[in-house]
Amino acid sequence: MRQLFVLDPLKQINPEKDSSAALMQAAQRAGDEVWVCCPADLIARGDEPLAMALPVTAEPWITAGACERLRLSGFDVIWMRKDPPVDEAYLYATHLLEVAERAGIHVLNRPSALRSWNEKLGALRFCRWMAPTLVAGRVHELAEFTHEQKEVVLKPLGGRAGLGVIRVAADAPGLNALLELVTEQGRLPVMAQRFLPAVSAGDKRILIVNGEPLGAINRRPSDGEFRSNLAVGGQAEATDLSERERLICEALAPTLRAEGLFFVGIDVIDGMLSEINVTSPTGIREVERLMQQPLADQVIERLRLLI
């Protein structure tokens, strides 16, 4: 196969930690051609999708050849692995990738799903598996919910890697002022979820491939921190899935498959679904290291079954 990865500039990628690097190396081990480009390199000439792309040797990391202007119809698979934010440039890139999808190329994850699945709001489809959750911009709604739940976590809807997530108690001084700040005076909605004290024991990242959970890690917060994201100091450790976590994955699977969300990372705290990450889910390297599992190779094997 011939695979194209649309991602951030190569110089920004740490191959020791990055899931995109793991997937590129696994594709190469499987005998596939691997090419890369950035979202700004995508082109549509009429209804013909093209890109300025580089051929790469991903293992050992990394050697790039000369840039070429290529028809995307020459690729079997295109991975959209650009990290958030999901800004204007990101959204336009998904529209250009939709031109490629209409030409019969498999784009992972499906561009329309990347646009419609906000990583916080997408989970609301499965709210029966979540802790009590409210999304609102009105300060009085958020304040009332905080008083009901006693303690909540506030999440910006466009956030990533735990950035901007705040834990606040109902009796905190200046609660309304804080809510005015995070909503930009009621202009932007935020997500409020009941704080789960069990997060001190960890937050599981479960990687789901074509509806099947293939790997997981537990992320334990560092001392004095409630956020368990690896980007803010959380420590990864080996884990197994509980029966409830398997049921959550089963509940999500039909929708994920139907909407073309091939590679997804969900976050679960104390048996409660927290988020559904669809843009560029991470965790492959940690699963491979901690669980002694060739996860990236397994993802490429599942991809071959799909194609």
Out of 81, 160, 204, 219, which one is annotated catalytic? 219
The per-residue pLDDT for 307 is: 84
pLDDT band at 164 (very low <50, low <70, confident <90, very high): confident
Out of 82, 204, 227, 285, which one is annotated catalytic? 227
The per-residue pLDDT for 158 is: 83
* Residue 120 annotated to the active site: yes
Check whether 163 has a pLDDT greater than 80.
no
Q: Which residues of 11-22 are buried (b: 16+ CB within 10 A; e: fewer)?
A: eebebebbbbbb
* Residue 267 annotated to the active site: yes
Tens-place pLDDT, residues 181-237: 999 999 999 999 999 999 988 899 999 999 999 999 999 877 666 666 666 667 889
The per-residue pLDDT for 21 is: 97
Out of 81, 120, 204, 285, which one is annotated catalytic? 120
Residue 107 parent element (H or E)? strand 106-108
d(CA 227, CA 102): 40
Mean pLDDT of the chain: 94
Q: Which two tokens stand for residue 92?
A: 């336009």
The per-residue pLDDT for 82 is: 96
Out of 203, 275, 286, 288, which one is annotated catalytic? 275
pTM: 0.93
Strands 166-169, 272-277: pairing kind: unpaired
The per-residue pLDDT for 224 is: 60
The per-residue pLDDT for 201 is: 86
Out of 32, 110, 277, 288, which one is annotated catalytic? 277
Check whether 259 has a pLDDT greater than 90.
yes
Out of 18, 119, 245, 267, which one is annotated catalytic? 267
Tens-place pLDDT, residues 16-35: 999 999 999 999 999 999 99
* Residue 277 annotated to the active site: yes
* Residue 275 annotated to the active site: yes
Distances (CA, A) of 33 to 57, 59, 270: 9, 12, 41
d(CA 205, CA 224): 21
Out of 98, 205, 218, 229, which one is annotated catalytic? 205
**Cβ atoms of 15 and 88 closer than 8 Å:** no
Tens-place pLDDT, residues 276-298: 999 999 999 999 999 999 999 99
